[in-house]
Amino acid sequence: MKIRRSIFVFIAVVAVLIALVLWHGKKQSVETPVATSTETNAALTATTTTAPPAQAAANAVAPSKLDKGEQIKEGLATLNDVSIAFYGKLEDQFGSPVVGAQIAASIRIYNGVQSTTEQLSVASDANGFFQVKGGKGESLGLWPRKDGYTLATTGTEFKYSYMYADHFTPDPNNPTVIKMWKLQGAEPLVGIGKEYRLLFTNAPFFFDLVAGNVSDSGGDLEIIITRVPGSLSKLSPGDWSIRLKPVNGGIMESDYATSRTTYEAPAEGYQDDYFVQMKQDDPAWYDNVHKVFFLKSRNGQVYVKFNFDFGINFEPSSIMYFQFRGVANTNGSRNWEATAPQ
């Protein structure tokens, strides 16, 4: 009886397993067409329905970036791969040719594939002429050198790229003149570097730039300030002015680059004063002055080149800011050669 019962249990278990297998197989056969039908419908929907613009843009990100990168490279190559040719002449301050100078040249290459520089060197001939030719690039920088001379031209970098509307165009029949200063011998100069914080007054200030002080008269430069009684700021603009008047001399506005390569004070071209008038309704209203000047004072005894910074006081009772930085020749000479690289 026990054996028969065991056999019966075994047969029952096998029957249950077979039933489960058949049921699972039937379920798969029923579900498979549904999955297939769903995928087919999705495919059909994709082919007949236009994706939303945002989704379409997202789908196109990868190829768009690739295409844009290639376009940028091609554009840079078209604009910046310009044949480099330069025709120049070196002259000193007297108009004489600078013979046998070495001109270091640097060609800037930036075309989407390369970002580098190519270095080369040429020399000026017996008439001061020289040529630079080599490869293609975006710009060309030049640095002429010769013992006893220093560079006196402010801009020696030339943009060839067509990205610039006023890009440089070489002309073999019209060489570009680059000035060099022939050193005559430096003279002692007085350094100027002084800051002042002064209360407002209607009376003029007299600055002795050489001694570095301010007084009621004399010196090198008279400065007169005017302002409205109330507050002054960019949020509350108002009328103010500043006038710079050399003491027995003249003043000339310059710029930082030019002043660096000017090794002799100009002989002429000075004005009696320099005046800034700021109006309340000026859309470009500002509360400060940052300028570079050449100054002749004390009947031509002193020649100065200096940077000038000024800030008007915000309140009538607050202070004004003045700063002078530069050099002065106090020997009655226009020589500023001590400022040149020796």
Q: What is the pLDDT of residue 302?
A: 98
Vertex 338, ends 298 and 180: CA angle to 5°?
110
The per-residue pLDDT for 284 is 94
| Nearest-5° Cα angle at 257, 255 to 258 | 65
Is residue 222 within 8 Å of 205, Cβ to Cβ? yes
Q: What is the pTM of this model?
A: 0.74
Tokens of 314: 């915000």
How much is the pLDDT for 310? 98
Contacts with 341 (C-beta within 8 Å, 6 or more apart), sequence order: 150
> What is the residue-wise DSSP string for 101-165?
-EEEEEEEEESSS-EEEEEEEEE--TTSEEEEEEEEESEEEEEEE-TTEEE--S--EEE--TTST
DSSP structure class, residue 27: H
CA gap 326, 94 in Å, rounded: 26
Per-residue pLDDT of the chain in tens (342 residues, 90 and over written 9): 444 444 444 444 344 444 444 444 444 444 434 333 333 333 323 333 444 444 443 444 444 555 776 776 777 777 888 999 999 999 999 999 999 999 999 999 988 888 899 999 999 999 999 999 988 999 999 999 999 999 999 899 999 999 899 999 999 999 999 999 999 999 999 999 999 999 999 999 999 999 999 999 999 999 999 999 999 999 999 999 999 999 999 999 999 999 999 999 999 999 999 999 999 999 999 999 999 999 999 999 999 999 999 999 999 999 999 999 999 999 999 999 999 987
Q: Among candidates 334, 322, 338, which has minimal Cα distance to 212?
A: 322
| CA–CA gap between residue 165 and residue 137 (Å, rounded) | 16
| pLDDT score of 67 | 73
Q: Which two tokens stand for residue 304?
A: 């100065």
Distance CA 139, CA 164 (A): 11
Residue 225: its pLDDT value, please? 97
- 246 forms beta bridges with 221
Domains of the chain: 76-182 (2.60.40.10), 190-339 (no CATH)
d(CA 144, CA 187): 24
- Supply the DSSP string of 239-268, one letter for each residue: -EEEEEEETTSEEEEE-HHHHHT--B--SS
